[in-house]
Structure formats: structure tokens, C-alpha cells
Amino acid sequence: MSGFREAFLYVVILVLGSFLVAESAIGVNWGTVSFRKLKPSTVVDLLKDNNIEKVKLFDADPEALGALMGSGIQVMVGIPNEMLAAISSSTAVSDLWVRQNVSRYLVKGGVDIRYVAVGNEPFLTSYSGQFQSYVIPALLNLQQSLAKANLAGYVKLVVPCNADAYESSLPSQGTFRPELTEIITQLLSFLSSNGSPFVVNIYPFLSLYGSTDFPQDYAFFDGSTHPVTDGPNVYDNAFDGNFDTLVAALNKLGYGQMPIVIGEVGWPTDGAISANLTAAKAFNQGLIYHVLSNKGTPLRPGAPPMDVYIFSLLDEGAKSTLPGNFERHWGIFSFDGQAKYSLNLGLGNKELKNAKNVEYLPSRWCVADANKDLSGVTNHMRIACSVADCSTLNYGGSCNGIGAKGNISYAFNSYYQLQDQNAQSCDFDGLGMVTFLDPSVGDCRFLVGVTDTSSGFGPCPRWIMIWILMIWGLCVFLI
């Protein structure tokens, strides 16, 4: 009982402290869909060295949470969409999830978990409503589970929404999609009753990428030659226009004062014409200065978003490229924790600080042997790129212009590094050779892998966790 009292007292102190120091801040999304990941402890040190005090996870990875123990960093953990059905099925299932992923970490010297993201963009149009019916029941069950654990007053449940949940030709006319009106109204009622903000992901880059008619300068923060005039209000950047479209949509449902958190916003550095270092720096720096100026927007003057989570901290080389090759290049740091460009996060440091003590494989690369006939290399390249990340070779990518032999070498090396530089992985029927001279050309960087981060069995795969939750719920039901 004394341990319980100690934990409960710790949470009370945190709650009281949050009222005293709560303020808007810049945070980051820490995604882990990578072939080779930095050690979680290295990532946490990277966060601390850059004074980043808020981080958003897409799951409740025990390795990441273990590394965050005692860091003082405020954390949003996530529940993948695939788990919503099981969690919505019974409170026994949600109780188990809370015990395993919240209660065990939210102790003295533990992890400062502030939010649980219930799903990730579950109302996305492309999902065709497959997760929609689970959201509210999952929220209700999880809220009850948090209450049982005496955490409901501190840990807030949120549902990150994509900006496609609302629409309009002008910001002041913003409305939620008609088929979402009922469930969004239920969601807003829940959020309001429990003191939670509305979390939205806004991506001006995707608007530019998806439309040839979208004015490029409107995506940034230096003014636009194509501003949007909406009655007395003039919008010269897409972020403010999108944000106020949401504000108007919330107002129409009676929640015009609902606090808003930006769950994801950023700009990729590779894989598309508009995705490059210069544009990413201009967007992210402009965004940070804009938010921290407290200027707000025309519909919320002087009231910027509560928090803004930059997407993302690190590149994720194993993400799907179906939306575009840029998907693997959102990081403000490369996969190995090295800053891609200078950026002032407004958190004390004027420049980003690189990750320390990164463990690399030896400095060697696999390239095409120029003395061999490379005419039959196509199948080798296809196989290499089906396993490794070759997204920078495509149109608009940083390695697109390095020539045919360069493209072959890049594909070979990407595969070679992924195979921990195994000698056989650079054979390619005699067409590859190992070199100790860095073949990087200009902005096209030939990567050297980092050593594997995991020891033992690592975190429980997501599909196993889903089945555990479902079986647990079934057993409770049968009992």
C-alpha cells in the first residue's frame, strides 16, 4: 500500500505542477519505422541535448519508454488503429493496456506520460470508415481504466485527426465532413468533459505536392503573392488558413474555444521536387517563429496552438512509399541523429545538436565495379531496392542526377549496409565491389549503417499485442 500511496502522491504533485508551468511548446514526433534505429537511450539524449521537452510516440514501445524513464520529457503515447477494436470490446482489455503501458511507467522517477493518442487519424478518408465505430467506445473504456488507476485527472485521451476531417473553400466556412458530424460531435463532447484538446495533423507540403494549382509561396511563412481573402481576414500562409478552417468547424458544433494541439506538421527533405533541405528549413523555421510569436490566427488572435509537434525527429527508412518517396525523409535529423540543416527550435539552442556516441559500421561502401559489364544489372537493382531504401534515386530525389553507374552503386550500397556489410551482400554476381573511399556526390549521401540497437528479443510485435488483448477480452467475456 505504501508503494501505491507514493505513486499516487507523485501524480498529484505532477498535476499541481502542470497548472503552474503549463505553456505552449515545440515538441517532436519520434517514429521508429526504420531498418536500423538508434539506441533509444541515444535518442533520449538527443532530445535532452536539444532541450526538447515534449515527444509524441506512435505506440507504447517499451524500449522507448524505458529510455524516457527519469528524463522529465512529457510524453504522448499512441494506440495504433489496429488495436482499437480490441480495446473498445471491454474494459478488461483497456485495463490491461493501461496497466502495461501507462501505470507501470507513471511512477516516481518514471515517464511523464501526459497524453494517450487513441488511434492515429482513424477518420482518414482512405480508411473508408473501418476504424470509425471503435473510437468512442475505446475512449470510454480507456477513460474508465485511467479512473481505476487514479490517473484520469492527469493523463488525457486524445484522437489525432487528419485535416481531411474538415473542408471548405474559405476558412470561415469550415465544416467537418458530413458523414463525420455525429461522431466528431461525440468526440468533442468527450474531449471537453475531460479537459482534453483537439489534436490535428496539418501538412501544407501535401497540399503543394498534390496540386499543381497550389501557390508555392502560400505553403511558407514569408508572405504570399496569392493570399486568401476571407471577408475582413487575409491569409498569406496555408497553415493559418487550415487552422482557422478547423476553428470555424469547431465553432459550428459549439466548441469554438476548444484547445487545439498540432499533432504533426513538417516538411520532408528528399524524394520529391519540393522536398529538399532549403524548403524544409524555410518551412520549419518559419512555422516555429510564427507559433512562438504568439500572434495566433485571424480567428484566434493571440492564441496559437497549445503545442506543436514537428514531424519528425528522425528519418524512417522503412516507411511505405505509397503516398510518395518523400515519406522516408521527414526528419529534422537523418536516421543516425545528425542534423540535416540549421534550425532554431526556440528552446534555448540556436542550432540543432547532433546525436552523440552513435555506433557506426566500418567506413566502407559497396559500389558497382566499373570494369564489369553492367548491362544485366537491372534485376539486381530491383532486388536491392525492394529490400533497402532507394527512394532518393527517384525523380526529385537528391541522388536522381548522379548517373546510371551512380544509381547502381547507391542501390548496391543501400542493400550492403542493411545486411551489416556482409561481404556476400556486395557480390551481385560479381558486379559489386567494396571501397573504402566515400562515393557520396554533392547532396547525395551514400550512407554507412549504424549497429543494431536491440538486445534480446526487443519490443513485442504489434500483431502479438493485438492478439493478447483480444484473447484477454474473450476470456473475461466467457468468465
Q: Is 264 a catalytic residue?
A: yes
Residue of 6, 23, 63, 121 marked catalytic:
121
Q: How far apart are CA 298 and CA 286, in angstroms?
A: 18
Q: How far apart are CA 271 and CA 66, in angstroms?
A: 33
- Taking the CB of residue 37, how many other CB atoms lie within 10 A of it? 23
Query: Is the preceding peptide bond at 312 cis, omega within 30 degrees of 0?
Result: yes
Q: How far apart are CA 73 and CA 69, in angstroms?
A: 9
Contacts for 64 with CB less than 8 Å, ≥ 6 apart: 30, 32, 40, 43, 57
Residue of 63, 264, 316, 327 marked catalytic:
264
* C-beta separation of 16 from 300 below 8 A: no
471 backbone dihedrals φ, ψ, rounded to 5°: -65, -40
Q: How far apart are CA 413 and CA 435, in angstroms?
A: 10
Q: Is 121 a catalytic residue?
A: yes
SS3 161: strand
Residue 164 CB-density burial (10 A; 0-12 exposed, 13-18 middle, 19+ buried): middle
Q: How far apart are CA 255 and CA 71, in angstroms?
A: 35
433 backbone dihedrals φ, ψ, rounded to 5°: -150, 150
Supply the residues annotated as catalytic.
121, 264
